[in-house]
Amino acid sequence: MKILVTGAEGFLGAAVTRALLARGDAVVAFDMRSSTRSDATASQLVQMAGDITDLSALACVMLEQRPDAVIHCAAIVGVLSSLGSPIHIVRVNVEGTLNLFEAMRLANVRRCIHISSEEAYGAFRTDPIGETHPLDPVLPYGICKAAVEQLGRTYRDLHGLEVINLRTSWVYGPGLPRDRIPKNLIEAALAGEALHVPNGADSAIDHTYVDDFVAAVLAALDHREHRFDVYNVASGKATTLAQMIDIIRTLVPDARLSAGSGPYRHGNQIEIVRKGALDVSRAKIELGWAPRYDMRAGLEAYVRALRR
Ligand SMILES: NC(=O)c1ccc[n+]([C@@H]2O[C@H](COP(=O)([O-])OP(=O)(O)OC[C@H]3O[C@@H](n4cnc5c(N)ncnc54)[C@H](O)[C@@H]3O)[C@@H](O)[C@H]2O)c1
């Protein structure tokens, strides 16, 4: 297959691109940034520098390349970024995605795997939550995700697009670009530095190891007939920050890590809403995908990769 990956230079887009190339698919990598890659031949990988807010650029790529499907990872990412510039995030995450849908419509490209987020749910009302949990996002990042999901349904009904939304919990692993848990904890532990996270010891959050995320994307991409357009993608278990620190201490015994009580705060500023585990049974049953990494296995793999 030939797959167009938006945001292909980012944490998740790059991981998905590597996996597609490794299994022999051709990739059209679309991103504002571009890097030199050595893992693909020119016939297998086309890199296009472009901005998803530019409809004509997307339409040209789509009409020229005619991919079989799209994996949509380009976005302004993170709750804090969305607060700094809500207009910009709406422009990129919502308007940019509409451009993508329009370009797909023009070129008759049907399937799009959209990387949505658990932030679309807002505060979890139960634990765990399934895909039928109400969407009540509270901040622009999650509001954009919910809006894109709904716009995807409009394009399905009006134009026959098939937009599959993966509501992903916090992804971690080698390459995580943001200064947040567990990256900051593991890096401090391996560098022999002390790190105190001011809040969040008891906040329970579901974290997804990057390899599980990639496997879920490929499973959704390859699935012949989707009965649903939304799947939770997570480990299925929530871990508190205190538990995470305990696990890291067993992996890096001299780690000097600690966390204060109270809810975790994004960037030590914005208090997170109530979270918990995501029920991943729909993806298990429908896609035949299951997370392989619980928190301990994921942190082990992450530490191993950084040590390498
Ligand atoms: N990382 C996570 O924990 C997580 C969790 C849930 C959902 N998601 C979603 O997964 C997707 C990928 O996240 P990530 O962690 O790889 O983020 P990232 O910031 O590492 O990558 C995003 C990529 O999009 C590109 N991009 C941004 N604006 C663009 C534009 N206007 N035009 C073209 N490219 C643009 C960036 O250059 C970057 O390479 C996003 O939609 C994000 O919301 C991520």
What is the percent of the chain with per-residue pLDDT over 90, rounded to a whole number? 91
Using alpha carbons, list the distances in angstroms from residue 9 to 14, 75, 90, 163, 240. Answer: 5, 11, 21, 22, 30
> Is the beta carbon of 12 within 6 A of some atom in ligand 1?
yes
pLDDT above 90: residue 269:
no
Q: Domains in the chain and their CATH numbers?
A: 2-171+207-233 (3.40.50.720), 178-206+236-307 (3.90.25.10)
Residue 292: its pLDDT value, please? 98
Q: Which residues contact 20 (CB under 8 A, 6 or more apart)?
A: 3, 5, 27, 218
C-alpha 158/C-alpha 156 separation (Å) is 6
Task: Count the neighbouring beta carbons within 10 Å of the beta carbon of residue 26.
Answer: 19
3-state secondary structure the chain: CEEEEECCCCHHHHHHHHHHHHCCCEEEEEECCCCCCCCCCCCCEEEEECCCCCHHHHHHHHHHHCCCEEEECCCCCCHHHHHHCHHHHHHHHHHHHHHHHHHHHHHCCCEEEEEEEHHHHCCCCCCCECCCCCCCCCCHHHHHHHHHHHHHHHHHHHHCCEEEEEEECEEECCCCCCCCCCHHHHHHHHHCCEEEECCCCCCEEEEEEHHHHHHHHHHHHHCCCCCCCEEEECCCCEEEHHHHHHHHHHHCCCCEEEECCCCCEECCCEECCCCCCECCHHHHHHHCCCCCCCHHHHHHHHHHHHHC
Alpha-carbon 239 to chain mean position: 18
Average pLDDT over residues 92-99: 98
Chain CA centroid to CA 171, Å? 6
Ligand 1 close to Cβ of residue 13 (< 6 A): yes
pLDDT above 90: residue 83: no
For residue 127, pLDDT over 80 is answered with yes
Percent of the chain at pLDDT exceeding 70: 100
**80 pLDDT band (50/70/90 cuts)?**
confident
Residue 35 has pLDDT above 80, yes or no: yes
Q: Do residues 100 and 149 touch, judged by C-beta distance below 8 A?
A: no
173-205 per-position pLDDT tens digit: 999 998 899 999 999 999 999 999 999 999 999
CA of 76 to the centre of ligand 1 (A): 6
Average pLDDT in the 245-271 region? 94
CA 152 / ligand 1 centre spacing (Å): 18
pLDDT reported for residue 268: 84
pLDDT at 121: 98
Question: pTM for the complete prediction?
Answer: 0.97
Q: Does 37 score more than 80 pLDDT?
A: no
182 preceded by a cis bond (ω within 30 of 0): yes
Asked if residue 75 has its Cβ within 6 Å of ligand 1, the reply is yes
pLDDT of residue 79: 82
Measured torsion, CA atoms of residues 159, 77, 35, 110, in degrees rounded to the nearest 10: -10
The residue contributing the CA closest to ligand 1 atom 9 is: 115
End-to-end CA distance of the chain: 32
Across the range 242-248, mean pLDDT stands at: 98
pLDDT score, position 85: 86
How far apart are the CA of 72 and the centre of ligand 1, in A?
Answer: 9
Residue 185 Cα to ligand 1 midpoint, Å, equals: 22
Q: What mean pLDDT is reported for the chain?
A: 96
Position 104, amino acid: M
In which band, very low, low, confident or very high, does the pLDDT at 267 lie, cut at 50, 70 and 90? confident
